[in-house]
Amino acid sequence: MFWAWCSVLIRSGLILVAAEVLRRCLRRSSARDRHRIVLAAFALLLAWPLLSAFVPAIPISLPMNGAASGTVTIQQRIASLESDLPQGFAMDWPLAVWLLGIVLALIPVAVGYLNVRRVVRRATRLHDERWEDSLAEECSRLQLQRRPALLICSDTVVPFTFGLRHPCILLPADCLHWKPVRRRAVLLHELAHIKRRDLVWQLFANVAAALWWFQPLCWSSRWSLRRESEQACDALVLKSGILPSDYARELLEIAQAFPKGQRWSFGAIAMARRGELEGRLYAILGPPPTGIRRLPLAAMAALTVLTLAASAVTIFPEQSSLPGGNNMKKTLMSGLLISAGLSAATVGGSISDPTAAAVPHTMGQETAVKDTRAAETQPSNEKIIRVHSDVAEANLVKKVQPIYPASAKSAGIQGAVKLDVTISKEGVPEDLRVVSSPSDDLSQSALDGVRQWRYRPTLLNGQPVAIITEVTVNYTLSK
């Protein structure tokens, strides 16, 4: 499991590192292009698991020196009925930790949103002819069909934009005394955010970072996206004819009046934040971008190719075949195909082997036995039962030994793979589910081996029935 997480971190990290490298290489291009690069990285990061599931694997062999030898042993027993809960309800700790991390990562987003809502509720509609005329003029300049609402707040707040469906611009109380140049600069900057849909992209980046909370580079990429969006809006303000020196002065004065305790980064887009102001002032007062026009498009194409490569390439040791194909593909497809539906029913009777001899230790004759799974593919009158005895092991007629994956050997991975196996009334393993496993490689090896096993049918009152058994495959390394 540790090596599987390392693989996920390394491959996802390659996508984010490549995006950051491309962003820095395009420093002479426009901030809009750099923003698109980072945004594309988030989109590709979210699409990467699906790509890994469907893109054909590309094997690459590496030299393997001094690999440890390994042994595979098998333990099989019929699952007991000591608990009323099915054993399939065992806690999936990696999934639980991931979901907990998502919740914790989304808490600041929710708190920021609620804080902004609280401030907006206290605000009132701004009715001022100068502001309304300026708003109409700048909306026409930026070709915005719907004008946002202008709100004024009695608190000392930095101007910010809020709202996905119905955006509004919140202004401090002293905005009625602003000079025309500041009024125009603030309106243009906030309207640029609305035109670019930066609130939507910010929420998208926050959700992506929450889903990938265990990837540290996700958080730094999110701030890169924020910085580039601010600089892109600054560029739109400068294109309207405001002098860079005037705009830089107004931006600096607004930031100085901004209370340090306020944080709108998760719920809204504030116009000026002190921590990111230095880079913006350099961009405002520096020379305009002169990058190659088609270079950003080529950069995004390169990023897409890298993501596909990270999804397809599978590295495995020399002198071995590809260990089960693409592990992420098999894990995802198995998760989509496995049914977790459970039902409760009872059947009565006695269990016997094909010779009609009663099987001992089966909860007694004429005793109700729990039916813990009813597969959708089974007819409604067929029952799948669990019993105490070693029925399945005694009826095993064909046993294929699982192969220790070379990739797991080279990585030093060992441990036990526990499977819940449903054996049909014909003696064929039909539904195999991994209960616990140290790695995807070992899981796939155990599944591939046990699928080929064959059993004599188990009889209930003389009729063959399907049963559930637990199989444990132990993988042990020896030097």
Residue 59 pLDDT = 60
Report pLDDT for 256. 79
Q: Could you write out the DSSP letters of every residue in 153-178?
A: -SS----EEE-SSS-EEEE-GGGGG-
Give the Å distances, CA to CA, from 218 to 3, 7, 267, 458: 20, 16, 18, 53
Smallest Cα–Cα separation from 123: which of 268, 273, 233? 268
Query: If you ran DSSP here, which 8-state letter would residue 457 be given?
Result: P
Residue 289 amino acid letter: P
Whole-number Å distance between alpha carbons of 149 and 161: 10
Name the nearest CA neighbour of 214 among 333, 52, 91, 99.
99
Contact 76, 392 (CB under 8 A): yes
Give the chain's residues under pLDDT 50: 66-67, 77-90, 316-381, 387-389
Where are the domains positioned within the chain?
A: 338-478
Question: Residue 434: which region, alpha, beta or left (left: phi > 0; alpha: psi -120 to 50)?
Answer: beta
pLDDT of residue 81: 31
Q: Could you give the C-alpha distances from 449 to 400, 425, 427, 452, in angstroms and in order?
A: 6, 20, 15, 6
- Write out pLDDT tens, residues 86-122: 444 445 677 888 899 999 999 988 888 888 888 888 8
Q: Of 163, 113, 40, which Cα lies nearest the Cα of 265?
A: 113
Task: Tell whether domain 338-478 is in CATH 3.40.50.10240.
Answer: no
Place of tokens 């399945």: 392
